[in-house]
Structure 1
Amino acid sequence: MSEGMGKVTCNLTISADGYSAGLNQSEERPFGDDGGDGWGDKLHAWYVEGAEENKAEIDAMMSATKAFIMGRNMFGPVRGEWDRQWNGWWGENPPYHAPVFVLTHYARDPQPMDGGTTFHFVTDGIESALAQARAAAGDGEIAIQGGATTINQYLAAGLIDELRLHIAPLTLGAGTRLFEGVPPLKLEQVTARATSMVTHVTYRVLR
């Protein structure tokens, strides 16, 4: 992290065996097969059913972050070639309330939403997305929101300062896995807290 720049972090919920999504992801089930009936019921239950117990971590996800980066699949699946009218998974008022830079192969005009979120679509790679996010964030933090494939690209390029993982007590066995294709990392544990539905662990990525 350079002087005057905010940290580049990630927040990611993973299973105990390291998967951020199961097999068979679809528009109806964006996190695939995780043993639940819909929107990542089992993997992300801590965020919904356990919101009170995990309030500190939920609040911390957004409080210091001034810009976000996500992969196109986290914004929403491709419908045909690319539905330029669809606003993604997030409804009319996404939770980000800040600029979000979406990595994609398909150009699209910025999409402003209620609450201060604007999705910007970046077609020229992860470093371009990070440069644009830095310009938008100033000295605030930038969060690589996911999914795991996008986070893995930034980890492999040495561009993430801090990993904030939320480990759910279940295994998926297959799917999209964190650290896939990433060279060995040296991590320093910063914090760890267990609640009844998840364990929160923060690691600093050492250079």
Structure 2
Amino acid sequence: MSAVRVHNFAISLDGFATGAGQAPDAPFGHAGERLHEWMFATRFWHEMGGGQGGSGGADNAFAAMHGPGIGAEIMGAGKFGPPGWQDDPDYKGAWGANPPFHTPVFVLTHRPRPSIEMAGGTTFHFLDLPPAEALKRAREAAGGQDVRLGGGPSVIRDFLAEGLVDHMHVVQVPMVLGRGVRLWDGLESLEEAYHIEAVSTPSGVTHLTFTAKTR
């Protein structure tokens, strides 16, 4: 069976994956882009944007694991767009006409709408389903490849709570946000279900990889 993977998911020292006050011009609220500056400096990020340059090393190696072997993505409504996007029938996501996914993407929302086919192989499907049922749909679309769980923190937390995540890469950034949406709430003793490894890099971040123990 295909694996469920989380990649490049950045959190603060106090566990927040997004700040308070999300808005169209502030998708991560008061956190701004600070949680992701480590990734913006990598060769992976530069190449994603069609450019050159960027750093190699461990940060780049971890970041580049994001894409290979992925056949579909699941994301929450908060990743697809800022608060209120459901009220705009013409809204097509935050990534322009050619989103970077190039696979089917399943958006979990309490207000589903018709699917949207975009350039480059991305099609957004909108589902009002619990995690296990949404994952079944995504696996069918992935054609035997893995399913990436893109976030946000509430969606990842729900999948973790149901034991549905096989591999998770979390990047702990040395900053304190104090408010926003946390990843770890309600996941007491999560470490008992995963092998956990930590790698710190010169950029100051710590890469935490969670690999599910044999169930």
What's the TM-score once normalised by structure 2's chain length? 0.85
Percent identity, aligned pairs only, is 38
1:94-133 correspondence runs (5 A): 94-133=99-138
For 1:204, the aligned partner's letter is T
> Runs ≥4 in structure 1, deviation > 6 angstroms?
none
Query: Which residue among 163, 178, 194 is the counterpart of 2:201?
Result: 194
Counterpart in the other structure of 2:27: 30
Counterpart in the other structure of 1:158: 163
For 2:17, the aligned partner's letter is S
Counterpart in the other structure of 1:37: none
Q: For structure 1, which runs of at least 5 residues remain unmatched after alignment?
A: 35-39
Q: How far is the alpha carbon of 1:92 from its aligned partner?
A: 1.4
For residues 41 and 35 of structure 2, the distance between their equivalents in structure 1, rounded to whole angstroms, comes to 11
Deviates more, 1:44-53 or 1:9-18: 44-53
Instruction: Tell me whether 1:93 sits opposite 2:98 in the alignment.
Output: yes
1:41-80 correspondence runs (5 A): 41-51=33-43, 52-53=54-55, 54-79=59-84
Structural RMSD (CA): 1.8
Q: How far is the alpha carbon of 1:117 from its aligned partner?
A: 0.9
For residues 192 and 106 of structure 1, the distance between their equivalents in structure 2, rounded to whole angstroms, comes to 40
For 2:2, the aligned partner's letter is G
Counterpart in the other structure of 2:11: 14
Q: How far is the alpha carbon of 1:182 from its aligned partner?
A: 2.4
Q: For structure 2, which runs of at least 5 residues remain unmatched after alignment?
A: 44-53
For residues 154 and 145 of structure 2, the distance between their equivalents in structure 1, rounded to whole angstroms, comes to 24
For 2:15, the aligned partner's letter is G
Q: How far is the alpha carbon of 1:169 from its aligned partner?
A: 1.6
What's the TM-score once normalised by structure 1's chain length? 0.88
